[in-house]
Structure 1
Amino acid sequence: MVAFLFILTGATAFISAPPKGPAPVVIAYVGGFRGLVQNPSAIMVEKLTHINYAFVDVKNGRAWLTNEATDTVNFRELNALKLRNPALKILISIGGWAWSENFSDAVLTEDGRRLFAASAVDIVRRYMLDGVDIDWEYPGVPGEEGNIFRPEDKQNYTLMFKALRESLDSLQQQTGRSYQLTTAVGGGRYFTDHTEMANAQQYLNYVNIMSYDYKTNPTGIAGHHTNLYGSTKDTAESSAHRSVQIFMEAGVPAEKLVMGIAFYGRAWAMKDATARGLNQQALKGARGGGYTRLKDSLMNQGYVRHWDRRARAPYLFHPVQHIFVTFDDERSVRAKCKYVKKHKLAGVMFWEYSSDPKGYLLNTIHNAFN
């Protein structure tokens, strides 16, 4: 009888175990802005949930295929990858650093927002895609030199997503398919101060935090550009953890937040070997490059890899040439994936697929989530 009760109790406990939450998303930004996507059949789509196709431009108030001849080929070849992963979602990403100057004008009025939304969703419809990603850099504040921005962007950013969501829902009624709406966001408080993220998020499936490019000034302080935590005692230092906190405080639930991973490194030339370049004044920018290049080339050319325990981030330093390189590697990616699971975030995204064609980092993400 005791043995029977033990077995019964164990079986009951097994049956009543709470179900696991949704698997983390793995979103790859794939660049079509250069022209044809190189060797699309080599993309490891079995290890992805989404491809965000970068980028679609904004012109005359509409979403615009600037490179239509190659974009259409890319759409066809990316869609063909669903034969290997039927659950794959392919979204158009509109904007980016170079093509955000016309967002503010496009969504300034209700009629403008309807036109913009209709044009974006028409691209989704024509090429049988799965949704829209907005990469507006940045509402309400300067991005690239010459970008148009105004105070009204704060409310219009939200209203743009409302119009897009309505247009996608209308398409869903016609096709019976569901469509996703996401956005890429800057990782600092400047972004949440100039948007209404608590209101905007209700229309969004995911909010992709660009938790990289924290350091970009070629003559500024060289430091980590994609660190999980701060490397100093300064509580205001940029980090992925701080970015997550900022967006949660702004009203975005954890289950919609996606952490960014850099598949590339940034580099600076330093005046000497002080602190191996970390958090030191730089002389000028230097060549970084994609992770495959960093791993296969630089690490065999006199660069020494170091690990910042506080920041959970690696860096390279050349003791003779005094070049400092900041990047994500397998160890830092595992730390980010562990953070995502611990804090129940939606998943990870990365910029950009072609920077690591050998898949060192994507394989690490896949193994961490499986």
Structure 2
Amino acid sequence: MSLKKFGLPVIVASAVMIPLGVTAPAEAAVEHSSKRVVGYYTQWSGYDRNFLVNDLVKNGTAAKLTHINYAFGFLDETGKCVSSDAWADYQRPFTAEQSVSGKADEAGQALAGNLNQLKQLKAKYPRLRVNISLGGWTGSKYFSNAALTKESRAAHVKSCLDMWLKGNLPGSPAGAAKGVFDGVDLDWEWPASEGAPGNVVRPEDKQNFTALVLEYRKQLNRLSWHTHRRYDLTAFLPADPVQIDRGFEVRKVFSALTFATTQGYDYHGAWDPVTNQQSAIDGPAGDPSTAEFSSQVTIDAYLKRGAPRSKLVMGVPFYSRGWTGVGSTNNGLFQPATGGAAPATYEAGYEDYRLLKAQLSKFQVFRDNKAGFAWLYDGTTFWTWDDPIEMKRKARYISDRHLGGAMIWSLDGDTSDGELITALHKHLH
């Protein structure tokens, strides 16, 4: 099964005041008149990529988003929430030119780093919601420990709400990051299934994940009572129906979530010896895989298992997967790749859209309009290709199926003028 890298990870309704004397409902979803547009902003974007929170303003992305998932917070072995990079999260100072507000950070201020920039972004775009994403591909090792018992679940959730929502960061003044986050996004990859090597996996993860979601909802409702704010609870869910059935009680989980995002990418990649699509809407003709992976398969799987359409937010990629040493039969599609992963800027076999677009003159673009995907090929190197045309196609699919919106992994992959987010946003109805 070609799911070695399944799960790179990325959410949600406008803030609603809860009147005093009214208990927050068990299901904290708030309906929107338009689709959700959820984007992952990664903690590491500000390093090699030099993609800062302020770039979301410069390229027009922030105005088109309804939600940002900040990725990722981690869990320690006991299940307690911790920062995986304190410098990036809340210590790094930004210059006036780098800052969303246009003002330089000052020595000794209570909050710096990405969290302060997200706080400034929310001030600039008051309807924007920001959630802390926990886990991810490299941060899910100890989720099973956190979810194991009633006591461990309660302690885990308490630590996460204290750190991220109440804003009590280690070594910072009490409440320094209060108000930055509007909720929690659970990115456990994956309950009862192998994710990254070394992850703790237990057969009882499936039921424990449901119990963990319910514990989050309970403690978020309690926090709402004190703050008079509505908090989001979302989850990132796998594309593979086998992993869905192994790790998720779909109907029960969705009843407590504001909404969930589904993996809409990494259906195939350089871990496969043969080239293929990574984000097709439907299964393509001639696919040699033993099992079909496509967005339609994934969405249908969740609907069949009781997920409401309005709570299904379909993932789309702002990056490509690539192979090299690929023969010319079928324009490189479904062909052996003798060279393995294609060379790339940050990770072999993975390239941001904006960087691959700059090399587009070397490639020919091919599309499968029936299955809904595209690829690039230059005679030896093959890249999956999600450009504005494919974003439009995906947006129309989401709209036609009356789904809850689109989720992007990840925002740093777009161009300086926001080509992909513009095409996606324009065609979601």
TM over 0.5: yes
Q: Which amino acid aligns with 1:41?
A: N
Tell me which residue corresponds to 2:5: none
Q: How far is 1:34 from its partner? A: 5.6
Tell me which residue corresponds to 2:423: 364
In the alignment, structure 1 segments of 5+ residues that lack a partner are 1-19
Distance 1:172 1:42, change over 3 A: same
Greater RCO (CA < 8 Å, at least 6 residues apart): 2
TM-score by length of 2: 0.78
Asked if residue 211 in structure 1 is aligned to residue 251 in structure 2, the reply is no
Tell me which residue corresponds to 1:50: 67
Bigger mean CA offset, 263-272 vs 150-159: 263-272
Native 8 Å contact 1:261 1:349 kept in 2: yes
| Aligned residue among 57, 75, 88 for 1:70 | 88
Q: How far is 1:33 from its partner? A: 4.0
Bigger mean CA offset, 342-351 vs 275-284: 275-284
Tell me which residue corresponds to 1:17: none
More helix by share: 1
Q: Which amino acid aligns with 2:268?
A: K
Asked if residue 346 in structure 1 is aligned to residue 357 in structure 2, the reply is no
Native 8 Å contact 1:183 1:207 kept in 2: yes
Asked if residue 93 in structure 1 is aligned to residue 133 in structure 2, the reply is yes
Asked if residue 298 in structure 1 is aligned to residue 359 in structure 2, the reply is yes
Q: Which amino acid aligns with 2:263?
A: M
Q: Which has the larger radius of gyration?
A: 1
Q: Which amino acid aligns with 1:299?
A: L
Tell me which residue corresponds to 1:226: 279
Give the 3-state SS of the residue equivalent to 2:336 in structure 1: strand
Give the 3-state SS of the residue equivalent to 1:114 in structure 2: helix
Tell me which residue corresponds to 1:285: 341
Tell me which residue corresponds to 1:325: 383
Asked if residue 237 in structure 1 is aligned to residue 255 in structure 2, the reply is no
Bigger mean CA offset, 226-235 vs 64-73: 226-235
Q: Distance in 2 between matches of 1:167 and 1:95?
A: 19
Give the 3-state SS of the residue equivalent to 2:54 in structure 1: helix
Q: Distance in 1 between matches of 2:148 and 2:331?
A: 48
Native 8 Å contact 1:186 1:209 kept in 2: yes
Distance 1:24 1:34, change over 3 A: closer
Tell me which residue corresponds to 1:196: 249
In the alignment, structure 2 segments of 5+ residues that lack a partner are 1-30, 91-112, 168-176, 345-349
Q: Distance in 2 between matches of 1:338 and 1:139?
A: 31
More strand by share: 1
Correspondence 1:66-215 to 2 at 5 A: 66-72=84-90, 73-122=113-162, 123-126=164-167, 127=177, 128=179, 129-194=181-246, 195-215=248-268
Q: Distance in 2 between matches of 1:219 and 1:176?
A: 50
Q: How far is 1:312 from its partner? A: 1.1
Q: How far is 1:236 from its partner? A: 4.3
Tell me which residue corresponds to 2:309: 254
Q: Distance in 2 between matches of 1:338 and 1:34?
A: 29
Q: Distance in 2 between matches of 1:220 and 1:268?
A: 9
Correspondence 1:14-29 to 2 at 5 A: 22-29=33-40
Percent identical: 32
Q: Distance in 2 between matches of 1:139 and 1:268?
A: 30
Distance 1:64 1:34, change over 3 A: farther
TM-score by length of 1: 0.90
When the two chains are superposed, the root-mean-square deviation of aligned CA atoms in Å is 1.8
Q: How far is 1:306 from its partner? A: 0.7
Q: How far is 1:352 from its partner? A: 0.6
Tell me which residue corresponds to 1:32: 43
Q: How far is 1:343 from its partner? A: 1.1
Q: Distance in 2 between matches of 1:54 and 1:21?
A: 24
